[in-house]
Structure 1
Amino acid sequence: MATNSYLFVILANCTIKFIMKATSFTNSSLIHHRLYVYLLFFFSLGAFACQTSQGETKDKTNTDTSKTAQINKPVNEVATPLFVVTGYSRELANISQDSLSQLYCAGKVYVLAPAKAKADRFFKCTNGKTLPDLKAFAKLAKNALMVTDIDHLIAQYKALNVNGTSFFEAPTKYPLIDQSEGSTPFDYAKKVTKFTLTGVTAITRNTGLAADAKGPDFLIEKVKHHFQNSDLVHISNEVSFDPKCVYIKYDPRYKFCTKERDFKTLIDLNTDIVELTGNHNKDFGSTPYKLTYDWYKKNGMKTFGGGLNEQQANTPLIIDLKDGKKMAFIGYNQACPIGECAQGTTKSGANRYNREKARKLLQDLKQNKKIDIVFASVQFTEVDSYKPHSKQIKISYDLLNFGADVVYGSQAHQVQEIEFYKGKPLFHGLGNFLFDQIHRVGVRRGYFLHHYIYGGKVVQSVPVYTWISNERRPVIATKAQADAIKKLIFPDRLIYKW
């Protein structure tokens, strides 16, 4: 357009000059004739310039409109998994998508306010039964359902399967995904970390004799498949191996040891993290402890809650999660009843609990090191009860108040209650995982946990219930056995509060 206008101006000037000359040097009739011709030429050029300008303006308008459309184009969203949650004491474990849709649109289920827009879009209706925050659902969870999204999912509420599918077991088949046109699929493999946490492991006495008779593979044969797709596996091992170890049946004077051969079970369970808060790791002294500690390192297993000296025992284990967030583990022994704790620069063992020491460590992890999630473990003094003792509760609350995100007791041979404290999970005791006790029902019951971690928090903790069989090994609990455990560890007074 600029070039055409410039040419037009030049031609116009030339025309005017020519007319002026014609006026000066020609007779009247000739002047009138020539003036008519040049004026016609002048206006023709003007019309041409206007047409060109209008065409270019139209092209520019189209270009500007196209650019505006690109600017206003919606940002490429990421698909969001939605969940329907309830309380852990409920038998309900599955719901059909059709049933959920009807309930949602009829206002018979709650929806969390931050997830409402996506849920309304997914179910194609407006739900008016909105809860402002997760705390508001705590007292309702026993008898109600709530829809939320993965960004507002917490371990306190049990996520139901939908159409028989768990998002955490089969994310590509899970139906409740809010995915608008052109949105990016939710990348489960890069965003969700599966961490498996277990109870007491002590391969000794009769469990060791079972390994002598049938090999170490026999010990984990019935549970091994649950550990094959975990990203991280934790074992709280309470016994060191000794080259001179001999297994015997129960004897109150017997000190605990393991044969190195039987540590193959830790490898086969894909163990990544070994907790050293236990009471019996130094039953045979410092040499077996050091041999075992070196074995862990040689086999790529990281440790926490114990070490070769006091400082090392108190050093947290920090791990990078799949989404780039950071998770830390700290561990303690409450009482060190048989002198098993580390001291000074030369004595190895477990990390002795001290309230102020724990407070400072958690403060450093959260405020200075910016750790997203901290698991805190304590080997409490043992009690044969499904309920935790008062000192145990006090220490656990302290750790949660100091900044821990999950607290669990690693001491419990008898499974203990689960509690949610200010929205944080507190597992008072997971029971025996790999130990020989079968003399009463309480010590045969146990569970391990699949923690699913997303966005720097535990969004679900799924228990798998176990039973120590007559063959002195863990097996998956029957439905009746699992139901009995659930009734004991999920009391209403502890799970429907905030």
Structure 2
Amino acid sequence: MQISICLTSKLRMIAILLITLVPILTAADPAAAIEPSQTLYVLAAPFTTVTDTVESSALASLDPERIPDGLLIAAFDETDIDKKAFLAELSLEVDPARVVRYSPIEEAIAASVRTGRWIVLPFDRLDPRLKVIAIDGVRPIDKSFNPYRWPLVFRRGGESLSEKQWDDIPFANYDPSKLSDVMLTGVTALVRAVANYMDGFGPDFPAVYTGDYLRSADILHINNEVPFAAVCQQTPQQLSNLVFCSKERYLDLLIGLGTSVVEISGDHFQDFGDDAVNYTLDLYDKAGLPYYGGGRTLSEGQRPVFIDHNGNRFAFLGCNGKEEGYAAASETRPGAAHCDYSLMEKRIRELRAQGRLPIVTLQHIEYYKVAPNDQMITEYGRLADAGAVIVSGSQSHMPMAFDVSRDRVIHYGLGNLFFDQAYFLPETAEATIDRYVFYENRLLSVDVATIKFINLAQNDWMTADERAGLLERIYAETIVRNGAG
């Protein structure tokens, strides 16, 4: 009995000693109390930056020939770590005096836009005012990205973990299962020379060089302006009067690209009458291709198309913004839907209240300048102000300027995707494909791809010099706004 009591007393003393010592030991080693975590950072620059990639060596030295002013903005909200330690953790062995820290992060982004300086910030804090810069050709917004082989990672705790063990620690702010990209495109009209090439070389001919990129999209938008006809035989008079139809087999191009949604707000959708419109809609229905911006009735054409992907909830809306006559849909006739801006604004607000991200594409006036006119600014702006995250001009035959803010993007025109205007003007041989990246139901980034026509039907990627020249012209007329739109 005495032995038992003695043993119990000793155990009690050991327990008291442990209770006393553990907090002391933990306090002596603050890292021991921190759960291992890692945050992905990205290198970015103002949206209108032409440079796409930088070498890691140039970043490490903040080479002023590659990095504007040889200075960098660091955006991080942690208050318990200084700038030097932060840079070391990101493996940026640069002079801290050449790095300006801003907190909160919103102030850092505003400073980057205002000064033109590049910025390092957390991946999930990106917004459309910034362009993601690749390091040695790698970007976190790319589908092939491997976060565990990325240099800009900020780690807390876990000092004893090996690199292999860190590979098992999820990122606090990067989860590819929450990412979606939406690819918006310009004019598709499978007629005239494009049709001739497709007849001779097959339906996939126009997309031989750019098709893989288009197919990579989670959600691919195609603006197909022309109806399919059961018998598509156009007379010279019809062609000279711009009365168009497409052959049914050309639909194989859209299906082969993995098209997710078709815009039918185009001027030519009624060119071959009600029968061709209904025939086209039947083909889309049979192929499982949702469409918007037109329909069998005006009400149908005004309805949004809902697409959900990885927790990102989209609503596509569209209409024809030209004068009455181009859009023929009514409650008794099929065709493209004319823009009712008051109704569109109401729908957009309702969709935002439902947690959806409205993407609006317009068949607007064809304006052969980079900068928009006053009508475009007003009408695109109304829809953006109502809450559309993207307002994109599908009608333009040449690439036009952007208007970008923290929570929305306006692109007044992308140019032709598949149409035979390569030799009409130098600018009509150029176009963009706009890839919008979303994360956790928020627009994160815009990736502007640039293409050129190499014949009357086929596009290919621009060279680096061609791309730089086009982006410089577009960005010279682009507005980037600090704050919300």
Whether these two folds match at TM > 0.5 is yes
Q: 1:168 aligns with which of 122, 127, 141?
A: 141
Task: Tell me how far apart the structure 1 counterparts of residues 75 and 434 of structure 2 sit (CA, whole Å).
Answer: 26
- One-letter code of the match for 1:308? R
Tell me if 1:53 matches 2:14: no
Deviates more, 1:295-304 or 1:94-103: 94-103
Tell me if 1:287 matches 2:275: yes
Corresponding residue SS for 1:490: helix
Task: Tell me how far apart the structure 1 counterparts of residues 245 and 185 of structure 2 sit (CA, whole Å).
Answer: 20
Cα pair distance change 1:176/1:196, threshold 3 Å: same
Corresponding residue SS for 1:383: coil
Other-structure match for 1:384: 368
The answer as to whether partners of 1:208 and 1:247 remain within 8 angstroms in 2 is no
- One-letter code of the match for 1:122? L
Question: Post-superposition shift, 1:137?
Answer: 3.8
Tell me if 1:269 matches 2:257: yes
The answer as to whether partners of 1:202 and 1:435 remain within 8 angstroms in 2 is yes
Other-structure match for 1:154: 127
Deviates more, 1:469-478 or 1:312-321: 469-478
Tell me if 1:260 matches 2:248: yes
Q: 1:473 aligns with which of 431, 441, 458?
A: 458
Other-structure match for 1:412: 396
The answer as to whether partners of 1:279 and 1:336 remain within 8 angstroms in 2 is no
Task: Tell me how far apart the structure 2 counterparts of residues 449 and 56 of structure 1 sit (CA, whole Å).
Answer: 69
Question: Post-superposition shift, 1:239?
Answer: 0.8
Task: Tell me how far apart the structure 2 counterparts of residues 115 and 362 of structure 1 sit (CA, whole Å).
Answer: 37
Other-structure match for 2:446: 461
The answer as to whether partners of 1:241 and 1:292 remain within 8 angstroms in 2 is yes
* Cα offsets for 1:200-229 (capped at 9, x unmatched): 101011111111222212121121121232
Question: Post-superposition shift, 1:51?
Answer: 3.9
Task: Tell me how far apart the structure 2 counterparts of residues 145 and 413 of structure 1 sit (CA, whole Å).
Answer: 33
Cα pair distance change 1:219/1:98, threshold 3 Å: closer
The answer as to whether partners of 1:95 and 1:160 remain within 8 angstroms in 2 is yes
Question: Post-superposition shift, 1:61?
Answer: 6.3
Other-structure match for 1:341: 328
Q: Trace 1:1-400 onto structure 2 (pairs within 5 A).
A: 45=2, 49-59=5-15, 62=18, 74-75=34-35, 77=37, 79-97=38-56, 99-101=58-60, 103=62, 108-114=71-77, 120=87, 121-123=89-91, 128-130=100-102, 132-134=104-106, 137-138=109-110, 140-141=112-113, 143-169=116-142, 170-172=144-146, 173-180=149-156, 181=158, 183-185=169-171, 188-246=175-233, 251-322=239-310, 324-335=311-322, 337-344=324-331, 346-367=332-353, 369-371=354-356, 373-400=357-384
Deviates more, 1:111-120 or 1:240-249: 111-120
Question: Post-superposition shift, 1:236?
Answer: 0.6
Question: Post-superposition shift, 1:424?
Answer: 2.3
TM-score, L = length of structure 2 = 0.83
Question: Post-superposition shift, 1:252?
Answer: 3.0
- One-letter code of the match for 2:252? K
- One-letter code of the match for 1:205? R
Tell me if 1:450 matches 2:435: yes
Task: Tell me how far apart the structure 2 counterparts of residues 382 and 84 of structure 1 sit (CA, whole Å).
Answer: 36
Task: Tell me how far apart the structure 1 counterparts of residues 271 and 305 of structure 2 sit (CA, whole Å).
Answer: 25
Question: Post-superposition shift, 1:87?
Answer: 2.6
Cα pair distance change 1:465/1:358, threshold 3 Å: same
Q: Extract unaligned runs of 5+ from structure 1.
A: 1-7, 9-44
* Cα offsets for 1:121-180 (capped at 9, x unmatched): 434897652154446645644631111111210122111111331222331143323345
The answer as to whether partners of 2:124 and 2:174 remain within 8 angstroms in 1 is no
Cα pair distance change 1:442/1:100, threshold 3 Å: closer
Other-structure match for 2:66: none
Task: Tell me how far apart the structure 1 counterparts of residues 340 and 447 of structure 2 sit (CA, whole Å).
Answer: 31
* Cα offsets for 1:382-438 (capped at 9, x unmatched): 222222121111011111111111111111112211221455221100011100112
Question: Post-superposition shift, 1:101?
Answer: 4.7
Other-structure match for 1:4: none
The answer as to whether partners of 1:419 and 1:494 remain within 8 angstroms in 2 is yes
Task: Tell me how far apart the structure 2 counterparts of residues 124 and 215 of structure 1 sit (CA, whole Å).
Answer: 51
The answer as to whether partners of 1:333 and 1:341 remain within 8 angstroms in 2 is no
The answer as to whether partners of 2:278 and 2:296 remain within 8 angstroms in 1 is yes
* Cα offsets for 1:26-52 (capped at 9, x unmatched): xxxxxxxxxxxxxxxxxxx3x752442
Task: Tell me how far apart the structure 1 counterparts of residues 296 and 318 of structure 2 sit (CA, whole Å).
Answer: 15
Other-structure match for 2:469: 484
Corresponding residue SS for 1:416: coil
Task: Tell me how far apart the structure 1 counterparts of residues 76 and 478 of structure 2 sit (CA, whole Å).
Answer: 26
- One-letter code of the match for 1:160? I
Note the aligned Cα RMSD (angstroms).
3.1
Cα pair distance change 1:80/1:341, threshold 3 Å: farther
- One-letter code of the match for 2:457? R
Cα pair distance change 1:492/1:442, threshold 3 Å: closer
- One-letter code of the match for 1:366? R
Aligned length: 446
The answer as to whether partners of 2:225 and 2:264 remain within 8 angstroms in 1 is yes
TM-score, L = length of structure 1 = 0.81
Task: Tell me how far apart the structure 2 counterparts of residues 316 and 275 of structure 1 sit (CA, whole Å).
Answer: 11
* Cα offsets for 1:281-301 (capped at 9, x unmatched): 111112211221122222222
